Amino acid sequence: MSKKVWVFVALFVLLGAFVLVACQPQAQTVEVTRVVTETITEEGAEVEVTRVVEQIVEVTAVPTEAPVMPKDLVICQSQEPETLYPYGGSMLAATNVQHAIFEDYITTLSYAFQADALEKIPSLEDGDAVLNSVEVNEGDVVLKVGDVVGPLAAGDIVMNSAGEEVTFDGTPVMMDQLVVDFTMKPTVFSDGTPVNASDSVYSFNLLLDPDTPSTKYTAERTASYEATGDLSTRWTGLPGFRDSTYFINFWQPYPEHIWGAFTAAELLEAEESSRMPIGDGPFVLEEWIAGDSIRMVRNENYYRADEGLPYLDSVTFKFIPDTNQLLAQVLSGQCDIVPEPGLEVADAPFLTEAEASGLLVPYFQTGTTFQHIDFAVDTWGDYTDTRYDWFEDVRVRQAMTMCTDRQGMVDNLLFGRSEIIHTYIPSVHPLYPTEGLTEWAFDPEAANALLDEAGYDQRDDEGFRIDPDGVRFAPSLGTTAGNVLRQGMTQIFKENMAACGIDVSLYYLPAAEWFADGPEGPLFGRRYDLGLFAWLTGVQPACELYMGSQIPGPADETNPRTGQPFGSGWGGQNNTGWNTEEYDAACAQALGSLPGTPEYVEGHTLAQQIFSQEVPVIPVFLSVKTGVTRPEVLNYGIDPTQNSHLYNIEEIDLQQ
């Protein structure tokens, strides 16, 4: 710890000692006047005499209990939300605040789902979810083989209730259809209006609106979502959609009595939804000072108030973009918690020292966000003509994976607090394969031999490899600007590749430009060579990230790699362009099977085995979630499958 910080801490210790002395009960002398009655003997008889007496006495004040001070928590984070409208963005800075405003109905902890403001998680075993066999005919909207939604027509291939792929010829087909019932607990919006099941249905319909910029994958595979009572809803999936997470197809209720006055497009900017929304969570937004802070107070209508929740009287979110300022303010007591976004694992040495001195309590937790370097296996448009197709050859991808010192990145950039990964989920995930996974070790010698075998055995005067077109093998690697961790990763990667004869150049773009939708955005417009960024996976392994149906491209054109339209348009997530029928079939099996069945496990296992062998991306390591609190903060923690550190903000407390 720096001398400046120690001086600062010493000052606080001295100040505390002064306050303790000043608060001790003090003895003092005072003059009092009393009326005294005495019995005296006068002329042989006892008589009572009353007189007034003035005395100087020493008294000590009786200490009184200190008044109960309000519990005011200050949370400091490095970013300010752009909006608090849940369908308006996905910033972690906003999610932190939204946990205080909106109640969680379903949450995820330790790779499992839990019910919060729902009575329970539905299940087929309990009967609040059922799998029906229904008859479908021409024109009925179904989910076809290949994860395609549309009206059933002659020639379409569908999965029947017997689990067989059949080609529709006009004869009615029996297909499986899931129906799931949800029961809400009686929650209340902060303005006193009871939350109704219709608010959940309103939320579902709002999500489906074309002007709402949120993923619609499950909603588009929904036959109906309806209220079946004041506190109950029913989700019915499309025939053929055997959703492996059917039990979470409940939509967070939003206040229709307020937001219903606006269109979906207007809600993106309306004060009532984006700046000062009301919800049914533990706190009420009182004030938002742009560029400075958001202050919230206890929601007196919170449905768990009879449990004494929330424990805090107020919560203030302060926005401090400078890491040094964040550290200074939490050390000085001006901040109680610094969650993500805020500090990074790069701050681990300082935080560990502060913990040893009893000043702070740091938290480090590997999560489900993983950093990866993507190969542009299939680029888009004119960019295809700018270079040789280096990454179509799986041997090149495998060799570059072996050239990458991923453990070195973990040790040097993350202080050893993470782990390298070999697929898109961590090794502690229940669905991580126990066998058959290809784990590419750091082996430059084997990598160089494989590159020679792949036809890159010639080198130029500077020792860099020549591709089969006779041009230097010189891909560029792009990522976001201003990210210290990723800049460190790119530098190590460049050095690693040079040792294998590959001349990598680096470039950094603002996040808004790097992640922009195609065709303008380089990453999702598939106009790049190598790209570094992070994906969030979770309880459900996100195998769909690499499916052919998720390759971005024009919605009105057919992807020549799959023979199917670019179903997700430029909103597709498989920026690599990589596609194999075997992987798609395995992932589709996993997504179309129910948890606990052999098909579900087999699908996820096979998909990861193919992925690890084909390496469309280099999975590097799990990101490390980093947070810190003052010692007085209670019930704060970081969970691997919870994005926000403040998921239980109603239970966070301050020791007084």
Mean of all residue pLDDT scores within the chain: 90
Q: Please give the Cα distance from 626 to 351 (Å, whole number).
A: 10
- Taking the C-alpha atoms of 390, 396, 398 and 401 in order, what is their torsion angle to the nearest 10 degrees? -70
Domains 72-106+257-366+626-654 and 112-253 belong to one CATH topology: no
Residue 422, pLDDT above cutoff 90: yes
Residue with tokens 């799959």: 562
Per-residue pLDDT, 403: 98
Report whether 500 contacts 399 (CB < 8 A).
Answer: yes
**H, E, C per residue of 362-373:** EEEEEEEEEEEE
pLDDT at residue number 8: 39
pTM: 0.75
Asked if pLDDT for residue 16 goes beyond 80, the answer is no
The residues near 386 (Cβ < 8 Å, ≥ 6 apart) are none
pLDDT of 343 reads 87
Distance CA 134, CA 150 (A): 17
Residue 281 predicted with pLDDT over 80: yes
> Is the predicted pLDDT of residue 3 greater than 50, yes or no?
no
Q: What is the pLDDT of residue 346?
A: 83
pLDDT top residue among 586 and 591: 586
Find the mean pLDDT for residues 413-441.
Answer: 94
Instruction: Kindly state the helix (H) or strand (E) to which residue 224 belongs, with its residue range.
Output: strand 222-229
Query: In the structure encoding, which two tokens stand for residue 455, read together?
Result: 């036809």
Window from 175-184, 407-416, 556-565 with minimum mean pLDDT: 556-565
Which of the residue ranges 266-270, 281-285, 441-445, 569-573 would you say has the lowest mean pLDDT? 569-573
Selected residue with higher pLDDT from 213 and 401: 401
Q: Is the pLDDT of residue 629 over 90?
A: yes
331-386 pLDDT per residue, tens: 999 999 999 998 888 889 999 999 999 999 999 999 888 999 999 999 999 999 99
Sign of the torsion formed by the C-alpha atoms of 383, 388, 392 and 394: negative
Gap between the Cα atoms of 327 and 628, Å rounded: 9
Distance (Å, whole) CA 237 – CA 248 = 12
3-state secondary structure of 66: coil
Distance, CA of 82 to CA of 275 (rounded, Å): 9
Omega cis (within 30) before 310: yes
Q: For 112-253, CATH number?
A: 3.90.76.10
**Measured between alpha carbons, how far is residue 382 from residues 524, 525, 611 in Å?**
15, 11, 28
With beta carbons less than 8 A apart as the criterion, state whether 69 and 621 touch.
no
Contact criterion met (CB below 8 Å) for 124 and 118 = no
Closest-CA residue to 243 (of 217, 204, 207): 217
416: tokens are: 């050893």
The DSSP-derived string for 420-439 is: B-SSSS-TTSTTS-SSS---
What residue ranges do the domains of the chain occupy?
72-106+257-366+626-654, 112-253, 368-623
Q: Which band of pLDDT confidence, cut at 50, 70 and 90, is reported for residue 1?
A: very low
> Please, are residues 109 and 640 in contact by the beta-carbon 8 Å criterion?
no
Tell me what pLDDT residue 49 has. Answer: 56
Going through 99-213 in order, the beta strands assigned E by DSSP cover 106-109, 112-115, 129-136, 141-144, 148-151, 157-159, 165-167, 173-183
Is 233 in a helix, a strand, or coil? strand
Question: Are 623 and 534 in contact, with CB atoms under 8 Å apart?
Answer: yes
Q: Give the per-residue pLDDT at 563.
A: 85
Asked if residue 639 lies in contact with residue 110, where contact means CB atoms within 8 angstroms, the answer is: yes
pLDDT value, residue 53:
54
Mean pLDDT calculated for residue range 70-89: 94
What pLDDT digit, counting tens, does each position of 177-199 carry? 999 999 999 999 999 999 999 99
Three-class secondary structure of residue 182 per DSSP: strand
Residue 117, pLDDT score: 98
pLDDT tens by residue, 40-51: 565 666 655 555
142 has which bridge partners?
A: 150
Rounded CA separation 650/181 (Å): 27
DSSP 448: H
Q: So what's the pLDDT on residue 31?
A: 54
Task: Find tokens 């023979």 and name the residue.
Answer: 563
pLDDT number for residue 561:
83
Architecture of domain 368-623: Roll (3.10)
**Residue owning tokens 């996040």:** 511
Which of 47-51, 79-83, 243-247, 493-497 is the least confident region?
A: 47-51
Res 477: pLDDT? 98
Confidence check: pLDDT of 21 > 60: no
Judged against a pLDDT cut of 60, whether residue 399 lies above it is answered with: yes
Give the length of the chain.
656
Domain 72-106+257-366+626-654 falls in which CATH fold? D-Maltodextrin-Binding Protein; domain 2 (3.40.190)
* Alpha-carbon distances, residue 184 vs 113, 233, 255 (angstroms): 16, 8, 15
Residue type, 442: F
Q: What is the pLDDT of residue 568?
A: 75
Which carries the bigger pLDDT value, residue 592 or residue 276? 276
Tokens representing 459 are 């080198």
What DSSP line would sit under 36-56, residue for residue?
A: EEEEEEETTEEEEEEEEEEEE
Over range 31-56, report the average pLDDT: 57
Tell which wins on pLDDT, 458 or 49. 458
d(CA 303, CA 310): 10
* 74 residue type, one letter: V
Pairwise CA distance, residues 90 & 556, whole Å:
28
Work out the average pLDDT over 291-297. 97
In this structure, the strands spanning 232-237 and 314-319 are unpaired
CB-side neighbour CA atoms (13 Å) of 568: 24
Q: Does the pLDDT of residue 433 top 90, yes or no?
A: yes
pLDDT over 80 (residue 17): no
- Between 482 and 189, where is the model more confident? 189
Query: Is pLDDT of 81 > 60?
Result: yes
Instruction: Give the tokens for residue 541.
Output: 């392994």
Q: pLDDT band for 656, please (50, 70, 90 cuts).
A: confident
Q: Which two tokens stand for residue 274?
A: 């984006």
In angstroms, the CA 296 to CA 277 distance is 12
**Listed residue (587, 600, 581, 519) closest to 553, CA to CA:** 519
Residue whose entry in the numeric block shows the structure tokens 């200190």: 66
Mean pLDDT over 246-273 rounds to 97
For the CA atoms of 389, 392, 397, 399, the dihedral, rounded to the nearest 10 degrees, stands at -80
Could you please report the per-residue DSSP string of 385-409?
Answer: GGS--GGGSHHHHHHHHHH--HHHH
Taking 60 as the threshold, does the pLDDT of residue 7 lie above it? no
Q: Would you place residue 61 in the very low, low, confident or very high pLDDT band (cuts 50, 70, 90)?
A: low
